[in-house]
Copies of this chain bind each other. A is one copy, B any other.
Amino acid sequence: MHVYGEHYRTIWMKEDNPNVVQIIDQRHLPHKFVVENLVTVDDVSAAIKDMHVRGAGLIGATAGFGMYIAALNAPADSFMESLAADGEKLKATRPTAVNLAWAVERQLDAVGAVTGDVHTKIQTARETAQAIADEDADFCRRIGEHGLAIIKKISQRKNGAPVNILTHCNAGWLAFVDYGSATAPMYAAHDKGIKIHVWVDETRPRNQGARLTAWELGQHGVPHTLIADNVGGHLMQHGLVDLVITGSDRTTYTGDVGNKIGTYLKALAAYDNGVPFYTALPSSTFDWMMRDGIKEMPIEQRDSTEVKYIRGKVNGEIKQVLLTPKDSPAANYAFDVTPSRLVTGLITERGICEASEEGVLGLYPEKRKKDVNNDQ
């Protein structure tokens, strides 16, 4: 997508030196656009652990490139041992990130299968890293194409008047390698000249909407308006939202959507006002074992300081300020689960399906027999 008019992905090999991997250090957004060089496995570990990069797709891609950097630095006489040790180091940075472990294993398998010399092994690690990134971008691009059809239809119904889309959190290209999940249909529509306008939930307490989604939409030139998380219901009551699209952190094969805290409230409002509510996700986000999202999905509780303090810019500096009485306790549930009955459909890289076991397994029939924890 575009940043200051230039095309960017969230991670790439430096043009004039492919031994250097570059990322956008997202901690500084939206106030500063910082590109960071990664040249050691420690650089990569810190980037993942300290959230210079975040989002399932991007974490996976970063781990993929991390293993390429590990290969570049591995001694020839203990190449695979070194690679495996670095893989463990990378996996430990965010132990719950499924894509991270998956990317590390994929690299170990690919490089381990190489029979040639160290140079060939490094070449394979490099190609695998690039393939992981390209596949992520390609899945998102396809999500965009499928979602585009929904936006196009609404645009036609409105005779070309802007389609108002509400989104929550950042399921944007910053969370993946390119395009994003929830944002992919928006970028696809915008790039095709279909008029859209995005209501961006600020997404307390970490403000991913206010900091990241507003920034990336603004950089790509997509008309948008930032709102407090409290506002969406009122907008829907008054016909100011045509469509909701969110991402997902984990979706059950029965269609229950785990996503950033507050998503459920927007889904309720959409349902109450007849506004279609879609979730966009690559199939890696499906949990093929979980049947009841509300009962079974573990919800992370994060530190209360994220609620009580906030970072912002004042006089050119980034400061953290206290918002609350110093001693008031605060709770910080990070995710909630939207039951499938409130979800109009799921937009995946294979197409759009109903948020139901029938719908999901219809698109992914290969999951029907072997993996699914099916009661029948």
Residues of chain A at the chain B interface (Cβ within 8 Å): 30-31, 199-200, 202-205, 207, 210-211, 214-215, 218, 224-235, 237-238, 260-262, 264-266, 268-269, 272, 294, 299, 304, 307-314, 319-333, 335-337
A215 with B323, Cβ < 8 A, contacts A262-B229, A310-B310, A331-B227 known: no
Residues of B within 8 A of A311 (CB): 321
* In the complex, residue of chain B having the shortest beta-carbon distance to the beta carbon of A223: B329
Query: Please, how many angstroms separate the alpha-carbon atoms of A204 and B201 in the complex?
Result: 11
The residue in A31, A202, A324, A337 that gathers the most chain B C-beta atoms within 10 A of its C-beta is A324
Q: Is B322 a contact partner of A224 (Cβ separation < 8 A)?
A: no
* In the complex, residue of chain B having the shortest beta-carbon distance to the beta carbon of A219: B325
Within the complex, the shortest CB–CB distance from A202 to chain B, in Å, comes to: 7
Q: Is B234 a contact partner of A333 (Cβ separation < 8 A)?
A: yes
Q: Is B324 a contact partner of A294 (Cβ separation < 8 A)?
A: no
* In the complex, residue of chain B having the shortest beta-carbon distance to the beta carbon of A341: B272
Query: Please, how many angstroms separate the alpha-carbon atoms of A231 and B337 in the complex?
Result: 11
A319 with B322, Cβ < 8 A, contacts A224-B329, A230-B204 known: no
A321 with B319, Cβ < 8 A, contacts A234-B264, A333-B234 known: yes
Within the complex, the shortest CB–CB distance from A29 to chain B, in Å, comes to: 8
Q: Is B210 a contact partner of A323 (Cβ separation < 8 A)?
A: yes
Give 14 CB contacts A-B under 8 Å.
Answer: A210-B323, A224-B329, A225-B331, A228-B332, A229-B229, A229-B262, A230-B336, A231-B262, A233-B262, A234-B335, A265-B269, A309-B312, A312-B322, A312-B323
Taken together, the copies of this chain in the complex come to: 2
Q: Is B272 a contact partner of A214 (Cβ separation < 8 A)?
A: no
* In the complex, residue of chain B having the shortest beta-carbon distance to the beta carbon of A327: B218
Contact of A30 among B233, B237, B325, B330 (CB under 8 A): B325
Query: Please, how many angstroms separate the alpha-carbon atoms of A337 and B337 in the complex?
Result: 25
Q: Is B328 a contact partner of A322 (Cβ separation < 8 A)?
A: no
A325 with B215, Cβ < 8 A, contacts A237-B294, A336-B233 known: yes
Q: Is A203 a contact partner of B226 (Cβ separation < 8 A)?
A: no
Q: Is A261 a contact partner of B228 (Cβ separation < 8 A)?
A: yes
Q: Is B234 a contact partner of A329 (Cβ separation < 8 A)?
A: no
A330 with B264, Cβ < 8 A, contacts A310-B310, A336-B237 known: no
Within the complex, the shortest CB–CB distance from A41 to chain B, in Å, comes to: 33
Given contacts A225-B331, A230-B261, 11 further A-B contacts (CB under 8 A): A30-B324, A30-B325, A204-B228, A211-B323, A214-B324, A215-B328, A226-B328, A233-B336, A264-B269, A265-B265, A312-B321
Q: Is A231 a contact partner of B314 (Cβ separation < 8 A)?
A: no
Q: Is A268 a contact partner of B272 (Cβ separation < 8 A)?
A: yes
Q: Is B323 a contact partner of A207 (Cβ separation < 8 A)?
A: yes
Within the complex, the shortest CB–CB distance from A332 to chain B, in Å, comes to: 7
Within the complex, the shortest CB–CB distance from A173 to chain B, in Å, comes to: 15
Residues of B within 8 A of A237 (CB): 264, 294, 336-337
* In the complex, residue of chain B having the shortest beta-carbon distance to the beta carbon of A234: B336
Residues of B within 8 A of A214 (CB): 324-325, 328
Residues of B within 8 A of A309 (CB): 312
Residues of B within 8 A of A329 (CB): 224-226
Q: Is A224 a contact partner of B262 (Cβ separation < 8 A)?
A: no
Residues of B within 8 A of A313 (CB): 321-322
Residues of B within 8 A of A225 (CB): 328-331
Query: Please, how many angstroms separate the alpha-carbon atoms of A335 and B233 in the complex?
Result: 11
Contact of A233 among B199, B235, B265, B320 (CB under 8 A): B265
